[in-house]
Amino acid sequence: MFFYKFKILTLIMFIIKVIKILITKLERFIKIKNLKNYPDKIYNISVDDVNFRMSFGNQKIGETILQRINGVREIDTTAIIKSILRPGNKVLQLGSCYGYFAMLMSDSVGPSGKVICIEGLPNNFKILENNISKNSFKNINCFNYFIGNKSDTIAFGLDDMSPYKSIDEYQSGLDIKNTEKKILVKVINIADFINQIAFVPSHIFMDIEGFEVDALEQLSKHFLKNYSPTIIFEFHEYLYNNDKGLKYLRQLLASNNYITRKIGSNIIAFK
């Protein structure tokens, strides 16, 4: 009898838990649905003790933007930034998107530090520059480049909100004939770029949708043998080739005397 009652109670508790989860998801859906965005709308963002302003241009408000508005985007990445960056550090951020993490990095390194941002998608880059201009951070420089090794340029649509179609075309070597509605973005070798601007980062952050493979290969040829930046990258195993997966990247870093640790969806590498 007791066992029967226990099973009924467990089932009731499980049903209540499921209902609570569904209610939470419904509330978030309604909030996103009712949150209207327009190009010049400014949101006051608070991430713990860091405050800044952001707008999102022509982007629709979805879950990932709502996380930014609420100051809870990628908690693991936020914790890493706040834990390891110090005043005076020099940061290279590959894949800056709208600038949320760039501003957290800027606050962490302070006026004596520097943050170099690279964002490939022109639409995102426009939003990024706009967001940097809305705040008092003076130690951030932004560049609209793409990191790869297949050609000198990549073609993005004028209003592309996602890079994946253009990336697929770039990866397949598709010749883009009609460029009237396209923006050609320069493809760079990241090690050459660092050398050209005479910038030696103490930390490199990457979230570049699988192109961390290209970036790490470019850096490993000479740069990582002469310098020892801490490297943090979000890994994207579903985007890797079979012979160049996460194991390959960790071995590549190990060959340059790096120790790697997995933290959530990030790899942190240090000497």
> Which is higher by pLDDT, 26 or 111?
111
- Kindly indicate the confidence band of residue 51, based on its pLDDT and cuts at 50, 70 and 90: very high
**Which of these, 193, 260, 249, lies nearest to 217 by C-alpha position?**
249
pLDDT score recorded for residue 20: 58
User: Is the Cβ–Cβ distance between 123 and 161 less than 8 Å?
Assistant: yes
User: Is the Cβ–Cβ distance between 75 and 178 less than 8 Å?
Assistant: no
- Kindly indicate the confidence band of residue 175, based on its pLDDT and cuts at 50, 70 and 90: low
Residues facing residue 262 across a β-bridge: 267
Helix and strand counts by DSSP (H, E) for the chain: 10, 12
pLDDT score recorded for residue 159: 73
**CA–CA dist 103, 55 (Å, integer):** 13
**CA–CA dist 58, 161 (Å, integer):** 9
User: Is the Cβ–Cβ distance between 124 and 157 less than 8 Å?
Assistant: no
Has residue 17 got a pLDDT over 70?
A: no
Q: Which residue has the tokens 């110090």?
A: 86
Residue 10: which H helix or E strand, with range?
helix 2-34
Residues facing residue 186 across a β-bridge: 153
- Hey, CA dihedral for 160, 145, 103, 137, is it positive or negative? negative
CATH number for the region 73-270 comes to 3.40.50.150
Domain residue spans in the chain?
1-34, 73-270
Proportion of the chain above pLDDT 90, given as a percent: 68
- Kindly indicate the confidence band of residue 162, based on its pLDDT and cuts at 50, 70 and 90: confident
- Mean pLDDT to the nearest integer, 2-15: 59
